[in-house]
Amino acid sequence: MSTSTSLSRTTAGAAAVALALLVTGCSSSGTTDSPSKGGPVSMEFWGWAPGYDKITEQWNASHPDVKVTFKQIPSGAKGGYDQMTNAIQAGKGPCLAQVTYNDIPSMLVKNALLDISQYASGDTGKYLDWTVAASSAGGKVYGIPVDTGPMALYYRTDLFQKFGIAKPPATWDEYAADAEAVHNADPGVAFGTAPQDAYDMAALTWQTGKSWFGTQGSSWQVSVDNPGTQKVAAYWQGLKDKKQVMNNGNAWDPAFGKASEAGKVMTFVNAAWAVPGIKGDLKDLSGKWAVAPLPTWSAGETTSSNSGGSATSVLTGCKTPKEAEQFAAFLSGDPDAVSTGITVGGLYPASKAGLDNPLLSQGDPYFGGQKIYDVFKQSAANVPANWVVGPTFGQVEADYSDAIGKGGYAQATTAVQQKTVDKIKSLGLSVTSG
């Protein structure tokens, strides 16, 4: 159970080139701290993924001389990264933190991450190539990969039956046709949820084969406003304007939970890590949800996408980087830790061994006994290999979320394009637009 070799190699190459450019364009995020010299060690680990507290307990039970204290913080985009950087500047930062692949470049720009290459060199071969590349820069390792986010369509089997929809839509045209049919039958039922922010738009654009960032010579290239993004923007704006999808909620908002419990929303698009969220928030709907492949833009295609995934990074100022890397490797690679990540956090493993975890081949009672990870396996193997992570995703996220509410997806895309170019210039990095 693994992604294709071509995907791993090509994505790894794109990520490596882009992050190498990042490192040459900004100051080093290295450290002069010496490795720890034995004795009891205490470290803090900050993150937001469900299950990390339990994995920390598993570590502490088997490593009495290296105690890790887990602190739950908001997700990075919701303020977690600001907490990290503020704590580092105050000399009170944790040793370890959860950092998404999208945000490793921007955290490097802020000199928030330590180079852990000397400690991680024996571990990197245990993970999918592209996740290692996404956690590295300029030949240096800045995080141990934890998970990926293969995308799929979550849908209500009972409501599909109610509205006479025989099977989940295989294409986005079929999705739109089903949305129209449901709206005509009952305008009070939303077929799905619309994209809310840059994370949603990035994942949907990724499926089109277009990337928001690239490199051109010695410069970053910003292409947020590309044909793929505008295609996604026009599609979802049309569904929103027709009131066929929820305009003010996503799968994690109270509005979505309320609508789901009332039978007023039928689908949502998200990654594998959404599994524990829906099972926890919508316990009474057990047996009514299922998972299908992400709809494609053309019939017969299998192209999917990825949303999220993160690494465990060692932050600037950590005095015990060796032990910190050992904990990070445990979190990502220990069989029991991986099992906890799957069952509690919905983490789809980045470790090669983790992809063979027996839990990923079992039927899930909540989803009617469906072997849902078979769908995510297929998705992970069909992600386009050309996505490049840029150096200012935090800025992109903030600007996109703000602009979507003011003028719609197309206008937001155009505005974010220019703001992203301006932001990269302000960092002293070379950048082109197009």
Per residue in 80-95, pLDDT (tens digit) is 999 999 999 999 999 9
Q: 28-37, 163-172, 181-190, 381-390: lowest mean pLDDT where?
A: 28-37
Question: Is the confidence at residue 114, as pLDDT, over 50?
Answer: yes
**Average pLDDT of the residues in 101-124:** 93
Q: What percentage of the chain has pLDDT greater than the value 70?
A: 90
Report the alpha-carbon distance of residue 272 to residue 102 in Å, rounded: 17
| Average per-residue pLDDT for the chain | 90
Report the alpha-carbon distance of residue 321 to residue 303 in Å, rounded: 39
Q: What is the pLDDT of residues 185-216, one digit of tens each?
A: 999 999 999 999 999 999 999 999 999 999 88
- Among left, alpha and beta (phi > 0; psi -120 to 50; other), residue 279 is alpha
Query: Do residues 348 and 356 make contact, with C-beta atoms less than 8 angstroms apart?
Result: no
Count of other CB atoms within 10 angstroms of residue 280? 12
Q: What is the pLDDT of residues 361-400, one digit of tens each?
A: 999 999 999 999 999 999 999 999 888 889 999 899 999 9
**Average pLDDT of the residues in 336-348:** 95
What pLDDT, on a 0 to 100 scale, did the predictor assign at position 32? 37
Sequence ranges of the chain with CATH classification 3.40.190.10: 5-148+309-356, 151-305+387-433
Pick the CATH number of 151-305+387-433 from 3.40.50.10490, 3.30.360.30, 3.20.20.70, 3.40.190.10: 3.40.190.10
CA distances from 351 to 7, 141, 232, 329, 386 (A): 16, 16, 31, 10, 21
Question: Is the confidence at residue 24, as pLDDT, over 60?
Answer: no
What pLDDT, on a 0 to 100 scale, did the predictor assign at position 88? 97
Question: Is the confidence at residue 16, as pLDDT, over 60?
Answer: no
How would you label 329-358 residue by residue, b for 16+ Cβ within 10 Å and e otherwise?
Answer: bbbbbbeebbbbbbbbbbbbbbbbebbebe
CATH 3.40.190.10 matches 5-148+309-356: yes
Question: Is the confidence at residue 152, as pLDDT, over 70?
Answer: yes
What pLDDT, on a 0 to 100 scale, did the predictor assign at position 62? 96
In the three-class reduction of DSSP (H, G, I as helix; E, B as strand; rest coil), residue 332 is classed as: helix
What pLDDT, on a 0 to 100 scale, did the predictor assign at position 218? 83
**Average pLDDT of the residues in 54-80:** 96
In the three-class reduction of DSSP (H, G, I as helix; E, B as strand; rest coil), residue 48 is classed as: coil
CA distances from 358 to 43, 79, 221 (A): 32, 35, 42
Question: Is the confidence at residue 2, as pLDDT, over 70?
Answer: no
Q: 2-16, 156-170, 200-214, 351-365: lowest mean pLDDT where?
A: 2-16
- Structure-token pair, residue 369: 């006994």
Question: Is the confidence at residue 27, as pLDDT, over 50?
Answer: no
DSSP secondary structure, 243-297, as one string: T-EESS--TTSHHHHHHHHTT-B-EEEEEGGGHHHHHHH-GGGTTSEEEEEPPBS
In the three-class reduction of DSSP (H, G, I as helix; E, B as strand; rest coil), residue 227 is classed as: helix
Enter the DSSP assignment of 64.
Answer: T
Single pTM value for the model: 0.87
Query: Do residues 14 and 385 make contact, with C-beta atoms less than 8 angstroms apart?
Result: yes
What pLDDT, on a 0 to 100 scale, did the predictor assign at position 21? 56
- Structure-token pair, residue 199: 């994370």
**Average pLDDT of the residues in 25-38:** 45
**Average pLDDT of the residues in 401-428:** 94
Report the alpha-carbon distance of residue 159 to residue 191 in Å, rounded: 10
**Average pLDDT of the residues in 136-158:** 95
Confidence grade of residue 59 (pLDDT, cut at 50, 70, 90) = very high
- Does residue 133 or residue 183 have the better pLDDT? 183
Burial (CB count within 10 angstroms: exposed 0-12, middle 13-18, buried 19+), residue 279: middle
Helix axis angle for 227-241 and 409-426, nearest 10°, is: 140
Torsion of Cα atoms, 152 then 157 then 160 then 164, to 10°:
130
Nearest residue to 330 (alpha-carbon basis) of 144, 147, 149, 119: 144
Query: Do residues 19 and 113 make contact, with C-beta atoms less than 8 angstroms apart?
Result: no
Report the alpha-carbon distance of residue 410 to residue 432 in Å, rounded: 21
Report the alpha-carbon distance of residue 333 to residue 391 in Å, rounded: 28
Q: Which residues is 192 bridged to in the sheet?
A: 245
Question: Is the confidence at residue 31, as pLDDT, over 80?
Answer: no
Pairing, β 289-293 against β 151-156: antiparallel
